[in-house]
Amino acid sequence: MIDIIVIGAGIIGSTVFYELTKQVKNVHIFEKNKQAGLEVSGHNSAIVHSGVDPVPNTLKAKYNLMGQAMYEEYAKELETPFKRIGAFVVAKNDEECKHLDILVERAKLRNIPVKRYDVHDALMLEPNLNSNIKEVLDMPTTAIVDPTHLSAQAVKKGVSLGGQAHFEEHVIAIHERLSHFEVITNFGMYQCKVVVNCGGLYADKIEALVGEPTFSLEYRKGEYIVLSEKAPQTSKRIIYPVPSPLGKGVLYVPTISGRSLVGPNAVDVDDFTPRPILDESVHDMKNKMNQLLDNIAYEYEIDRFVGFRPRVETDDFVIHEHPHVPYFFTLAGIESPGIASAPAIAKDVSTTMLLPALKARRS
């Protein structure tokens, strides 16, 4: 009998698996892809956000702040790259400067170091900023990671502690029994005491295998331009626009690999079927980025990619035990700041929810 099965090896499932294996040896993780972190986790901006942006009194705010504080040591523990490169939020006009006031107030309440610069001082620090901007907010604790590598390392470390990983094996049915679950995959049937649904884009469908879903997912598409590591680096920091209701907007992101990203846009879609990136989408992203940053070496473009983000109507993370199916837990809707929040979600949920549930199930 397996103690705990984790479904999904994105950055959330992988880190949950790793945290559980520190305390419980009989933990298994199932991933339908050939390796960890290939879907939502591997198709985003890969930023460890400072924690300024999330709305107060949300799980996003709680776990972003906790994750940011623990990330550097956590990355060392997992032997995965981590760089604290900082970020500028760029305000182009007086109205956007008012939004910086809100971010500064949140930063004070959350004890996050920030500093405002007028355009003159900002240009001294980042000479390629557009000279027509009004002001910037410096967030020096913002960092970058490689979420795919981090996910793979978390699984690898978990396996070294006694856990078992099942790749290219997907869950097709879950049956609730009196004292356990039967989890059916394309390879066989497994019995376990606790199930943790970290299914990412499929989390609502996984939950539906045990009963009436408690939430539904919406999907938002984000497209990116990738510039070669040979391209001149336009900014040593991440450059953000002032956030909008659709998200953080089109960014410039120096990555761990040395490449740079421009993107994403934000388009609500009905499904997550990959489609070609249209030239007009790329043109629109470039126009938005060029309002913030000059001299971007677009001639070094080497790739484009699309990421899909699973969202819920409440605009917050879903982290709960199913109200009608005890010992079945779901972690869903983990969009931004999901990368920043992952270590904190994994440690907190494992300690306060999953391990106590396993203890209760065993008794």
CB environment 133-166: b (16+ within 10 A), e (fewer)? bbbbbbbbbbbbbbbbbbbbbbbbbbbebebbbb
**134 with 161, same domain?**
no
**179 with 209, same domain?**
yes
**207 with 227, same domain?**
no
C-alpha 234/C-alpha 99 separation (Å) is 25
Q: What is residue 156's predicted lDDT score, i.e. its pLDDT?
A: 98
For residue 136, the enclosing domain spans 87-140+218-311
Task: Indicate whether 125 belongs to any domain.
Answer: yes
Residue 176 has pLDDT above 70, yes or no: yes
> Could you give the percent of the chain with pLDDT greater than 90?
96
**23 with 51, same domain?**
yes
Task: Give the CB-side neighbour count of residue 362, counting CA atoms within 13 A.
Answer: 11
The two three-digit tokens of residue 16, written as one number:
């949950």
Residue whose C-alpha is closest to residue 52's, from 139, 178, 163: 139
Task: Indicate whether 73 belongs to any domain.
Answer: no
**321 with 301, same domain?**
no
Integer angstrom CA distances of residue 63 from 31, 52, 244: 24, 12, 21
**300 with 331, same domain?**
no
Q: Is residue 49 among the annotated active site residues?
A: yes
Task: Indicate whether 82 belongs to any domain.
Answer: no
Kind of pairing, strands 27-31 and 164-167?
A: parallel
**174 with 284, same domain?**
no
**98 with 154, same domain?**
no
From edge to edge, which strands make up the β-sheet containing 47-48? 47-48, 143-145, 82-83
Indicate the pTM of the whole model. 0.96
Q: Which of 49, 166, 180, 322 is catalytic?
A: 49
Residue whose C-alpha is closest to residue 133's, from 152, 148, 147, 119: 119
Q: How confident is the model at residue 363 (pLDDT cuts 50, 70, 90)?
A: confident
Show which of 272, 290, 311 is a domain's final residue.
311
**298 with 321, same domain?**
no
Task: Indicate whether 79 belongs to any domain.
Answer: no
Show which of 311, 332, 351 is a domain's final residue.
311
Q: What is the CATH number of the domain that holds 343?
A: 3.50.50.60
C-alpha 87/C-alpha 122 separation (Å) is 12
**156 with 46, same domain?**
yes
Contact indicator for 335, 310 with CB cutoff of 8 Å: yes
Q: What is the sign, positive or negative, of the torsion defined by CA atoms of 178, 183, 189, 190? A: negative
Residue 94 has pLDDT above 60, yes or no: yes
**13 with 30, same domain?**
yes
**237 with 193, same domain?**
no
Residue 135 has pLDDT above 60, yes or no: yes
Domain count, the chain: 2
Q: What is residue 130's predicted lDDT score, i.e. its pLDDT?
A: 97
Which backbone phi and psi does 170 adopt, to 5 degrees?
-115, 150
